[in-house]
Amino acid sequence: MRKGEMRSYESGDPEEGWVRVVMDVPARGLIGYMAGEFKNDVHGQGTINHIFKGYEPYKGAIDTGRNGALISMMTGESSGYAMAPLQARGTLFIHPQTQVYPGMVIGESSKAADLYLNPCVKKQLTNIRAAGADEKIVLASPRVLTLEEALAYMADDELVEVTPTSIRLRKKDLESAKKGRAPKAKAK
């Protein structure tokens, strides 16, 4: 678990169904784990306690198993009309009518690569009416990230923005997002 080492494992009475696991885990390995993954791992039936043990050598990068990001490439207000087809691309982090800007992470892609898209498309309003042309838009509830979840979720090329009203993720390189493409890798 996140570069941790198990020190002991004991299980109690099978009828009570409890298990106690003692581990040494780096503090950076716990960021985001306690808020999100732990609840899923134990189905809401566990408790976690932690104590600072001391400083130890760096144990390497922590693999979070994260997919790519859904990234806005337009400035404006997101619309339900635009977000409905985007749901098939991954999990959204924003509601309709949220102000977005190029480079803002608006969701997690279902694939490994980052995907630049436009959540600001408005429905064309015309005077021509067709029977059955308007369809009801049903959006799934967005995944709202806490500060701890955002810190654990962010990739190396992303930043967390904290304001009094929201917590957002964005790409470091906003110029590439305006053009709708990923930044090129720097030559070594």
Q: Are residues 133 and 92 in the same domain?
A: yes
**Do the beta carbons of residue 132 and residue 115 sit within 8 Å?**
no
**Do the beta carbons of residue 143 and residue 93 sit within 8 Å?**
yes
The yes-or-no verdict on residue 71 having pLDDT over 90 is: yes
* 157 domain-assigned: yes
Q: How far is CA 107 from CA 8, 37, 134, 149, in A?
A: 38, 18, 26, 13
Listed residues 37, 60, 83: the one ending a domain: 60
Global pTM exceeds 0.85: no
Beta strands 99-100 and 76-77 are: antiparallel
* pLDDT band, very low/low/confident/very high, at 132 (cuts 50, 70, 90): low
Which tens digit of pLDDT belongs to each residue from 6-47?
888 888 877 777 888 888 888 877 776 766 677 777 777 788
* Complete DSSP assignment for 67-100: --EEEE-S-EE--HHHHHHHGGGEEE---TT-EE
* pLDDT band, very low/low/confident/very high, at 163 (cuts 50, 70, 90): very high
DSSP state of 177: H
CA distance 67 to 112: 5
Q: Are residues 77 and 33 in the same domain?
A: no
* 185 domain-assigned: no
Number of compact structural domains in the chain: 2
The yes-or-no verdict on residue 93 having pLDDT over 90 is: yes
Q: Are residues 31 and 109 in the same domain?
A: no
* 138 domain-assigned: yes
- For the four alpha carbons of 26, 32, 35 and 41, in that order, the dihedral sign comes to negative
Listed residues 35, 60, 85: the one ending a domain: 60
* 187 domain-assigned: no
Q: Are residues 99 and 170 in the same domain?
A: yes
Q: Are residues 47 and 113 in the same domain?
A: no
* 121 domain-assigned: yes
Q: Can you give the C-alpha Rg of the chain in angstroms?
A: 21
What is the pLDDT of the chain when averaged over all its residues? 83
Q: How far is CA 99 from CA 74, 76, 106, in A?
A: 10, 6, 11
Task: Say which CATH number the domain at 168 has.
Answer: 2.40.50.250
Domain of residue 103, residue span: 69-179
- For the four alpha carbons of 86, 142, 27 and 10, in that order, the dihedral sign comes to negative
Residue carrying the six token digits 């980052």: 114
125 compared with 92, residue with greater pLDDT? 92
**Do the beta carbons of residue 53 and residue 89 sit within 8 Å?**
no
Closest CA relative to residue 80, chosen from 96, 57, 59: 96
